[in-house]
Structure 1
Amino acid sequence: MKTLQIIARLLDYPDDALWAHRDELLALVAETSELDQVSANRLAEFIRQFCAAELLDRQAEYCSLFDRGRATSLLLFEHVHGESRDRGQAMVDLLDQYRAAGLVLDCKELPDYLPLYLEYLATLTEVEAKAGLVDIAPILALLAARIKQRDSHFALLLELLLTLSGVEITAEDVTEKLRNESRDDTPQALDAVWEEEQIKFLGEQGCISDEEKAHSQRFAGAVAPQYINLDVNSDAVNVGESRP
């Protein structure tokens, strides 16, 4: 599916090559039969508007959206396993799938990086690729909802992936469940994470005070994003409580 390659490129970190080859991307969008005309037009307009800005501005926007906090991370397993041990095994299993498909990865990205996963799906048959999108549809809906809350045009790309998957899950199905979720990309939230990590380190050294313990408890879980249950057969995405 060529459209998966296009969206993978747009979800990756913006660089000079994207600006240089934007006309080629637009030509591929015009040729695709994988999207209906309305969706294809929206994707083409995204490319035009995105590449109309200065590259440095788009790079800063990208980092602010995807690299600050965990809630909008493009690492798929972050939204399912967090830092649990299950994440490691899931990584190994996904790497096995890549190797079986003949893909050899360098050390630049983790295997659950969404653009990389989309590149993998693009090498499969259309039926297999859609099944792969169905597997991550709840994550896509969660990301789309959070990105919409941040008023970013990147939400369109996640919504188009949901369209390609053929599932009925939408960002709107998740939005209400996230109503009370605190954003983890604010300066206060990022400071809280840094301070808590410092306290954990001191605790490991055996020199944490009662005041520091109280501070740690006050911030514990304050910026942890909600996690989800990958059950696409349910009526809506199952968004669970924040993990400690």
Structure 2
Amino acid sequence: MPSPSRVLKLIALLLDYPSPDVRAESLALHALIRTAELPEARRDGLAALLDALCQGDLLDVQERYDSLFERGRALSLLLFEHVHGESRDRGQAMVDLLERYSAAGLAIDANELPDYLPLYLEFLALGDAEAARQGLVEVAHILALLAQRLAQRESLYAQAFEALLALAGVAPELAGQCYQAQQEAVDDSLEALDRAWEETPVSFTDPAAGCPSASPRRQPAGVEQPLQWVAQPVPQTHPRATR
């Protein structure tokens, strides 16, 4: 049975910008999915997502990825996008997160942003199973919100977020109960893009919201302080990480 770290790396690969590597390694990735310590429904969901990434012209798959994750804030894979919008706190939060990555031995290519979800998953994969779980719990509300919004669009990418919540041990309905996804119609027009960037960001830390975390916020092993999730526009490059 594969370790949680291998499953996190698998999901990071599935959520990254589609590349020929996924297709080349599809058989091995399917084998990893089938032996992952996840509920059967979550394994089936990841397998379906992998199949979709391996079917048809790669350029079409990449275009679908762009249309989901790079057109507005609502589905951004930059975790800091979903809390404080254009907060001034982003700069220091980025520095703090980069320092944690460096301490864990994770080197980031130039021009990469540390809050990119696949990169964060690779960071969690460097720790032990409990530290990784706590790192997922730390962002469970964001994962649940994205799962809901992707499900509304009938996107198989929702399966990756459901799997992450399963690894965190957090029920999707519990994690997202205070932060229901907006029931917006799917609209990819330029006007809709402008509106998306004007959306008020969701706050997961404001006590006035009256909704506590679905699970106590505990500090992951090896991390000096809890992560601070703030915001930044989606980049046009796709981060890669090396150890």
Decide: shared fold, TM above 0.5. Answer: yes
Is 1:56 aligned to residue 31 of structure 2?
Answer: no
Equivalences, count: 206
Asked if 2 retains the 8 angstrom alpha-carbon contact of 1:182 and 1:223, the reply is no
Q: What is the aligned counterpart of 2:203 among 209, 228, 238?
A: 228
Equivalent of 2:28 in 21, 24, 30 = 24
Corresponding position of 1:66: 69
Equivalent residue number for residue 138 of structure 1: 141
Kept after mapping to 2: 8 A contact 1:122/1:129: yes
Contact 2:72 2:197 survives alignment (8 Å): no
Q: Please point out which of 148, 153, 173 is paired with 1:150.
A: 153
Aligned partners of 2:68 and 2:165: how far apart in 1?
A: 20
Residue 86 of structure 1, CA deviation: 1.2
Shift of 1:40: 1.8
Shift of 1:31: 2.9
1:168 is displaced (CA, Å) by 2.9
RMSD between superposed Cα atoms in Å: 2.6
Is the helix fraction higher in 1 or 2? 1
Gap change, CA 1:229 and 1:86, over 3 Å in 2: same
**Helix, strand or coil at the partner of 1:229:** coil
**CA–CA distance in structure 2, aligned partners of residues 53 and 73 of structure 1:** 24
- The 2-side partners of 1:53 and 1:168 are apart by 33
Give the AA of the match of 1:159.
Answer: E
Gaps of 5+ in 1: 194-220, 237-244
How far did residue 151 of structure 1 move?
A: 2.0
CA drift at 1:42: 2.5
Q: Please state if 1:173 is matched with 2:177.
A: yes
Residue in 2 aligned with 1:217?
A: none
Deviation, 1:54, is 1.9
Change (3 A) 1:83 1:189: same
Matches within 5 A, 1:177-188: 178-179=182-183, 185-188=188-191
SS for the counterpart of 1:14 is coil
Determine helix, strand or coil for the equivalent of 2:93: helix
Partner of 2:79: 76
Q: CA deviation at 1:36?
A: 2.6
Q: Percent identity?
A: 49
Instruction: Tell me the alpha carbon deviations over residues 160-210 of structure 1, each in whole angstroms, 9 at most, x when there is no partner.
Output: 11111012343763674524x6878433223x46xxxxxxxxxxxxxxxxx
The unaligned stretches of length 5 or more in structure 2 are 216-243
Q: Which of the pair has the greater relative contact order for Cα pairs under 8 Å at 6+ separation?
A: 2
| Structure 2 CA distance for partners of 1:165 and 1:35, relative to 1, 3 Å | same
- TM-score w.r.t. structure 2 length? 0.76
Cα displacement string for residues 101-160 of structure 1 (whole angstroms, at most 9, x for unaligned residues): 011111242000000000111111000000000001011011111222222111111111
Give a deviation string over 1:39-65, Cα, whole Å, max 9, x none. 223322321233122211110000000
Return closer, same or farther for 1:19/1:188 CA change in 2, 3 Å cut-off. same
Question: Which structure has the larger Rg over C-alpha atoms?
Answer: 1
What TM-score does the superposition give when structure 1 sets the normalisation length? 0.75
Whole-Å Cα distance in 2 between the matches of residues 134 and 175 of structure 1? 15
